[in-house]
Chains A and B, each alone.
Chain A
């Protein structure tokens, strides 16, 4: 394949002619460029075989990807909106994800004045959609429901939902 690259020199336009192999150029000849995120998540990393006896991932292999359809337009600080947009595009790393969930939970819980020890489900645009007295009760309430925007769960007054909560 040939390509013409134009440049001017002392008022005169010259053309540099390049020749290259199409197979060496990424996306050459393709009408659409795929993001690669879905294949990273669904095809490359996912091993074949029975459910339980597959080889396991290391934490570094585990992608963070959620099914956002639209960019949310919430009332949150711009830094958080930017993080949500990164999350929507699937380019957020795990540390950013942890901080985003924690920060978002703090803001929403403060705004809605939710008492400590409640379990809450919060949309990524900051809206609290459900709350409950126990984690199972909360998860049963939201299981199978579509809230339009992905929902995360949180234990009010704690650093994390599960584990060594201090």
Chain B
């Protein structure tokens, strides 16, 4: 975690946030929708990025259908959700090779913010420094 690409960032409201840039791409037509958001890091979430379900509507603009499935939420309930692939192209201004890292995008109703889950972090090292309310990330 000491090389030049390490990113150090303070928590906000006791939570770790990271800026994410990417795109949802239709591989057949290459049309895409940009994704630019600040995500809360959630190590309890298996997926890549979680967004409110109404983004499904925007996917139809590029002829991408989010696929329904069942997911298990934190209280153990099974609920329907919609999934597709997004490509993360930047994490906190650290770029990845195009078209980016493919991650699972989950669309589900109740969210207090956009979440970044473990599927997005499978190639990333993160050190959480609780006492100093900061984290160091090596994308």
Contacts and interface: CB of A to CB of B under 8 A. Distances in A.
* Majority secondary structure of chain A interface residues (helix, strand, loop or mixed): loop
B130 interface: no
Given A57-B52, A162-B46, A139 B84 contact: yes
B1 interface: no
Interface string A13-40: 0000000000000000000000000000
Contacts of B57: 42, 46
Interface stretch (B6-14, B74-82, B89-97): B74-82
A164 B84 CA distance: 19
Contact of A135 (B76, B104, B111): B104
A100 to B, nearest CB: 9
Nearest to A54: B52
A160 B77 CA distance: 10
Given A143-B27, A144-B28, A101 B53 contact: no
A140 B80 contact: no
Given A42-B57, A52-B114, A154-B69, A161 B27 contact: no
Contact of A59 (B37, B64, B79): B79
Nearest to B62: A144
Interface string B101-134: 0111010111110100001000000000000000
A159 B55 CA distance: 25
A162 B80 CA distance: 11
A163 interface: yes
Contacts, number: 125
A139 B67 contact: yes
B109 A160 contact: no
Interface in A109-162: 121, 135-136, 139-140, 142-146, 150-154, 159-162
A64 B27 contact: no
Given A98-B78, A160-B71, A162-B47, A143 B52 contact: no
Nearest to B33: A51
Given A136-B85, A144-B27, A152-B69, 11 more contacts: A58-B109, A62-B108, A94-B79, A94-B80, A139-B85, A143-B84, A146-B65, A150-B67, A151-B65, A153-B69, A154-B69
